[in-house]
């Protein structure tokens, strides 16, 4: 199977049907657990779904405990270009640990990447939810029905910008991201710029910054909506739930 490469073109001897997998990506942790939970032996502290997942924790996505990861003796570690550091991937590989890296900036990329992960890297076959996600999300985007802004952090304020998975997901719901321009994928702006961007609503997710009814809405004159960060930013089984919930919330 050495002719196979991960999303970044890295080739390795991908052993079929790994029995011990560590995930360093919350979205992918949920995806793996939905298909073969018994094979998942490690995940990050940020891997909150499934909520009853009982596996070893290896710290965060940006600062994984590499000794703990290696100690779990995984057949495969799954990482993501944006969420994990290249340095950690390189150190794991240098120690003999196989790492499959995904690269995802759009919803169709997510579906295609997960398909390759399940079929090529894992050999587990396609989960039913992945076929459903393809049906729900990979068609022609609908006409724009509203304009939104999505902060992901406060003090300083940071926004979902261009060339992001969340921005593409919004577009495929018919919601235009008012900060979908420029070079910075997560631009830093001030509150006045957010209020002045012409959004119909500011969507306040509960991750990575945990906006709440008492922390976020008071900063804006633009109407605000508290939303699930998982439904806006995760790729995996949540895509099926997001298609229904975000449409209902429009």
Task: Mark which of 114, 136, 158 sits at the end of a domain.
Answer: 136
Query: Which residue is associated with the tokens 């003090």?
Result: 155
119 and 176 assigned to the same domain:
no
Kindly state the percentage of the chain with pLDDT values over 70.
Answer: 97
163 pLDDT more than 90 = yes
* pLDDT at residue 3, rounded to an integer: 67
Report the SS3 class of residue 79.
strand
88: domain range?
21-136
1 pLDDT more than 70 = no
d(CA 127, CA 74): 22
73 and 118 assigned to the same domain:
yes
- Among residues 192, 191, 184, 196, the alpha carbon closest in space to that of 160 is found at 184
113 and 178 assigned to the same domain:
no
pTM score, whole prediction: 0.92
CB–CB of 104/110 below 8 Å?
yes
**Number of domains making up the chain:** 2
Q: Is residue 3 part of a domain?
A: no
CB–CB of 40/32 below 8 Å?
yes
159 and 132 assigned to the same domain:
no
pLDDT bracket for residue 146 (50, 70, 90): very high
């Amino acid at each position: 199977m050495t002719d196979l490469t991960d999303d970044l073109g890295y080739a390795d001897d991908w052993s079929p049907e790994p029995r011990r997998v560590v995930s360093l990506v919350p979205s992918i942790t949920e995806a793996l657990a939905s298909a073969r939970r018994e094979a998942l032996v490690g995940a990050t502290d940020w891997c909150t779904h499934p909520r009853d997942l009982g596996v070893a924790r290896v710290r965060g996505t940006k600062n994984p405990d590499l000794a703990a990861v290696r100690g779990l003796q995984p057949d495969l570690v799954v990482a993501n270009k944006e969420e994990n550091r290249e340095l950690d991937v390189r150190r794991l590989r240098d120690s003999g640990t196989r790492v499959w890296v995904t690269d995802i900036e759009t919803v169709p990329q997510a579906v295609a990447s997960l398909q390759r992960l399940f079929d090529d890297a894992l050999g587990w076959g396609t989960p039913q939810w992945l076929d459903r996600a393809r049906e729900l999300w990979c068609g022609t985007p609908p006409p724009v029905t509203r304009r939104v802004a999505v902060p992901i952090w406060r003090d300083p304020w940071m926004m979902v910008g261009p060339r992001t998975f969340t921005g593409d997901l919004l577009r495929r719901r018919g919601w235009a991201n008012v900060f979908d321009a420029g070079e910075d994928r997560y631009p830093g702006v001030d509150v006045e710029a957010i209020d002045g961007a012409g959004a119909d609503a500011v969507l306040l997710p509960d991750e990575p910054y945990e906006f709440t009814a008492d922390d976020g809405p008071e900063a804006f004159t633009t109407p605000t909506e508290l939303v699930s960060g998982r439904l806006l930013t995760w790729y995996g089984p949540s895509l099926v739930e997001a298609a229904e919930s975000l449409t209902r919330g429009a």
